[in-house]
A and B are shown apart, each in its own frame.
Chain A
């Protein structure tokens, strides 16, 4: 069974995010790392391929400047190869533009299953998985907290407001996975060394046969008109607990008449 995992390479979330003053979009020009949310899909894919007794995991990523920092991490976990789409024309792509690129790249790998995260950690639009599935005309299941494959079907426990649903879906399919679907492995030293020589197919928008006018700023159907500071919430009274702080809480709750 062949599985494609969409992986995003993002600025380190530990560093505070910044908007580019010119374009008013997130700055992504520094070093990029594998979005932690995608490590779950990579692990799940490796385990599913293992359970199926054969096949490969292919990574698909779109990133500026042919960045491979995050891809190498996922290759080190055990993915076989990667397709990286990088092109100046992709700057400013919205979720639909991104989905067009990912869908075109995924097609090349002819997978039985496509895994994604439910949303990226930096942009978190959360719509790309369904957009990709829509463009590929594949069925899909979002918010998987457990996945198994058999009989040409993927069986998923899908998170819901109330609990979870058991969902069955014919393959090929697109499935988005939540954190917690599996525990991602740490790359081993051997894995890290092997990752250095694994193939990364670097493509441009033209290579994918996409119209540059449909992606990036050119394809955008939106315009940022204002960026402003939100109203700040003021900090109130801060006290050090010296054994009596709970009384302060009771008093506060009393004042608010919630007791």
Chain B
């Protein structure tokens, strides 16, 4: 049975809808003929793009003046739900703001929220979500019980975005009620950490380095290689925590999920928390001096060797090709 209405928490940056939102919209359309979006910001700015991805209506709060989204958006959602607009399911992306809004709304509605999902389907009249555990080796399927709306968080890159060619979504104002004591967290300044080249989200090739590089300076090899391959440089958490590269480079459970054509892991052991972030790559190349490293169990091409020997030669060979 199809659901009557699904909401997708829509996120945008600089007037462009984020990939994770478009991914969820594609999946939402599999579940319901009426997919609506809920946006903490200016709905008109993204109504055309949302409509092209099958959204009929976007509920939007309008400008929130720098407030962190969790509190006001959850309050606006709860008010809209009370007002009779309740969907069967609300899909959130596993992002900073997605988790905030979902958590707040869960407390407000006294409804559970199921997290880390990569799949969702309707079975009879139940909504079933799928969450991978133990580094993706096991899938747990969970069904919501009790009354909706049901709340679920989805990992990035779980679904393929798809345009429907629909016209602009209708914009409906979602009023933010009085926030009482909970409001007040406000962004005073935004800092953008510049990154060169393609982003981890959409690069065809990702080159990641880990603790096996030995020292921060050696990450240069990863960046040189990335440049030669028009790839995005990535990292394991070990070297992010060590301060070699910024957090935005991290791949894994608490970092980015990447699914490039080729993922190159250099000096990375292959901890389950790293693997959940890159296992979906079409091809994996691993370089590690330990033949027993877990990363080799999922590598299409595994090189048992020293990164300090293999990487410089690889860089030289690629430079020679011009």
- Residues B300 and A139 in contact, CB atoms below 8 Å apart: no
Contact A128 B103 (CB under 8 A): yes
B139 and A227 form a contact (CB under 8 A): yes
Q: Chain A residues with Cβ under 8 A from B82's Cβ?
A: none
Question: In the complex, are the beta carbons of A241 and B188 less than 8 A apart?
Answer: no
Residues of B within 8 A of A235 (CB): 296-299, 302
Instruction: Using known A-B contacts A141-B68, A227-B139, A228-B138, determine if residue A238 contacts B190 with beta carbons closer than 8 Å.
Output: no
Question: CA separation between A99 and B297, bound complex, in Å?
Answer: 38
Q: Residue of B at shortest CB range from A239?
A: B303
**Interface residue A142 (Cβ < 8 Å from any Cβ of B):** yes
Residues of B within 8 A of A204 (CB): none
Contacts of B311 in A (CB 8 A): 246
Contact B141 A162 (CB under 8 A): no
Q: Is the CB of A169 within 8 A of B247?
A: no
Q: Which of A96, A163, A225 contacts B142 (CB 8 A)?
A: A225
Known: A230-B138, A241-B310. A236 touches B299 (CB 8 A): yes
> With an 8 A cutoff between CB atoms, is A159 at the interface?
yes
Contacts of A228 in B (CB 8 A): 138-139, 141
The reply to whether B185 and A259 form a contact with Cβ atoms under 8 Å apart is: no
Binds B, one of A42-50, A62-70, A247-255: A247-255
A220 lies within 8 A of chain B by Cβ? yes
Mark out the residues of chain B between 64 and 105 whose CB falls within 8 Å of any chain A CB in the assembled complex.
Answer: 68, 70-71, 74, 94-96, 99-100, 102-104
- Closest beta carbon of chain B to A138's beta carbon, Å: 6
A124 at the interface (CB under 8 A from B): yes
Chain B CB within 8 A of A148 CB: no
Partner of B314, one of A119, A221, A236, A250: A250
Identify which of B110, B184, B188, B261 contacts A96 (C-beta below 8 A): B110
The complex places the Cα of A24 from the Cα of B138 at a distance, in Å, of: 12
Q: How many residues of B contact A (CB 8 A)?
A: 95
Q: Interface of chain B, helix or strand or loop or mixed?
A: mixed
Contacting residues of chain B (121-163) with chain A, CB-CB under 8 angstroms: 123, 128, 132-134, 136-146, 153
Residue numbers in A under 8 Å from B143 (CB-CB): 222-225
Which A residue sits closest to B300, measured CB to CB?
A236
Q: Residues of A contacting B306 with CB < 8 Å?
A: 241
B48 on the A face (CB < 8 A): no
CB distance from A11 to the nearest CB of B (A): 13
Stretch of B22-30, B111-119, B212-220 with 4 or more beta carbons under 8 angstroms from chain A: B111-119
User: B107 interface residue, CB < 8 Å from A?
Assistant: yes
Q: Are A256 and B261 CB-contacts (below 8 A) given A240-B304, A248-B303?
A: yes
A17 in the interface, Cβ–Cβ < 8 Å? yes
Bound Cα distance A211, B86 (Å): 27
CB–CB A230/B137 < 8 A: yes
Contact of B301 (CB < 8 Å), options: A129, A142, A252: A252
CB-based nearest A residue for B126: A225
Task: Determine if A127 is an interface residue (Cβ-Cβ < 8 Å).
Answer: yes
CA of A130 to CA of B99, assembled, Å: 8
- Whether the pair B190, A225 counts as a contact (CB closer than 8 A) is no
Minimum CB–CB distance from B291 to chain A (whole Å) comes to 7
Give the nearest-CB partner of A253 in chain B: B262
Does A137 have its Cβ within 8 Å of any Cβ on chain B? yes
Given known pairs A131-B107, A258-B261, the reply for A230 and B139 (CB within 8 Å) is yes
For the complex, is A203 an interface residue (Cβ under 8 Å from B)?
Answer: no
Minimal beta-carbon separation of A140 from chain B (angstroms): 6
Return chain A residues, CB-CB under 8 Å to B264.
249
Q: Across the interface, do A126 and B298 meet the contact criterion of CB distance under 8 Å?
A: no
Q: How far is the CA of A94 from the CA of B114 in the complex (A)?
A: 9
Chain B residues with CB under 8 A of A167:
68, 185-188
A253 touching B189 by the CB < 8 A rule?
A: no
B182–A166 contact, CB under 8 A? no
**Which residue, B180, B243, B262, has most C-beta atoms of chain A within 10 A?**
B262
The interface residues of chain A lying within 8 Å CB-to-CB of B181 are 137-139
Judge whether B303 and A140 touch: CB under 8 Å: no
A96-B106, A134-B74, A225-B141 given; A239·B116 CB < 8 A: no
Interface 1/0 per residue, A164-177 and B, CB below 8 Å: 11111110010000
Tell whether, in the assembled complex, residue B70 and residue A222 are in contact, meaning their CB atoms are under 8 Å apart.
no
Cα-based distance from A140 to B101 in the complex (angstroms): 11
Taking Cβ atoms with an 8 Å cutoff, the residues of A that contact B are 16-17, 19, 24, 94-96, 99, 118-119, 124-135, 137-143, 145, 158-170, 173, 178-180, 220-230, 232-233, 235-241, 243, 245-250, 252-253, 256, 258-259
A-B pairs with beta carbons under 8 Å apart, 23 shown? A19-B138, A96-B107, A124-B253, A126-B99, A130-B100, A130-B104, A133-B107, A137-B181, A139-B71, A158-B68, A159-B96, A161-B96, A162-B193, A163-B193, A165-B190, A169-B186, A222-B145, A233-B298, A241-B309, A241-B310, A246-B317, A249-B285, A258-B229
Q: A131-B103, A235-B299 known; 18 other A-B pairs, CB under 8 Å? A: A127-B99, A130-B102, A133-B104, A134-B108, A139-B184, A140-B68, A140-B182, A162-B192, A179-B237, A221-B146, A222-B114, A222-B143, A223-B142, A238-B296, A240-B291, A241-B306, A245-B303, A245-B310
Closest 4 CB pairs of A and B: A130-B103, A241-B305, A134-B107, A236-B300
